[in-house]
Structure 1
Amino acid sequence: MPPVSSAAHDGDDVRAAAAGDRRAFQRLYALHVGRVYGALHRLAGYDHARAEDLTQDAFIRAWQKLPGFRHESSFGTWLYRLAVNVALMDIRARGADPVRVVDDEHLPDSGETPFCAAERHELEQAIGRLPPRARAVLVLHDIEGWRHEDIGDELGMAVGTSKAQLHRARQLLRKTLGENA
């Protein structure tokens, strides 16, 4: 018998959680927290503490808005969009304030070679130093795979502006990391 997809389980848990079942929401949390945190960690400029706060805020908002979930998309898609919106509102609220760069001790040990880990760390720091809107466009487009139309809708900018911000972010990364980047 083929395994039941997580989306099928999501449906039951979503309905139960929308009716106030905290255990169902805990199951949804456990299933989706990794993807949500990963996206928010990148959008927060690799700031672990900020990403944790944003993840908590996203799940609190999801709990509050769950009774209004219309099932027009999967719960995972809805939650992911909600979480990204939480991060984008945080970026807007912070304006162009510089992002705190993480220390080596906050980076997870992924079993990488020291050379690869150093390159990854350098890239994360460079992304973290990008202006907030350029960073958001870069992360959403190049890492999360969003289309410029969707980025424009989410960030309240024209498609051309999204493309220009992506170009700017890439130029700044090349300048920071060297021309071979």
Structure 2
Amino acid sequence: MNGAVEAANKNIKKILRKIVDNHRQWHEKLLYALLVYCTTIRSSTGATHYMLVYGSEVVIPTEVEIPSLRIIQEVGLDDAEWIRSRHEQLMLIDEKRVDAVCHGQLYQNRMTKAFKIKVNPRRFTPRQLVLKKIFPHQGEAKGKFAPNWQGPYMVHRVLSGGAVILAEMDGRVTTKPINSDAIKKYYI
């Protein structure tokens, strides 16, 4: 959930950067940025956030000032017809949400397929020499000009799913498996 909030905040900040000059009065434009964010169709679901929550598209302030065909049609309804129309819209919310879930699953399948085309799986064998990546959060990461790889290590055992257990060159085996994405072959 936290990742979704961070992604939403990032997108709202992008929108704000486009409509605010020099970081001034961003708070005055925030409502417009939120309106844009909630009313933009997401490629992952094929629907807007507003549609998924409320079951109908949002009425933007411009449509109130200059009535659109949708607003004109709703204004012409008497109370009973409007209630019936709104009730029908609310009954369709679940169907629209199911459509969005299906669209999202298709989107994920497309993204997975596109990702797998680009991925070259790394295959390692026991006793093969490798280097291990130094990640920024590790104590070995010393700065911009420090090496990015450490080792060499020897592959002790290959696990399913692309993980391996490494051994030091003196034969000491590490107990913690490492993802094969974080190692590369070492050539002498």
Same fold (TM over 0.5): no
RCO (CA 8 Å, sep 6+): is it higher in 1 or 2?
A: 1
Q: TM-score, normalised by structure 1?
A: 0.20
Q: TM-score, normalised by structure 2?
A: 0.19
In our comparison, the structure showing a higher alpha carbon Rg is 2
**Bigger proportion of residues as strand:** 2
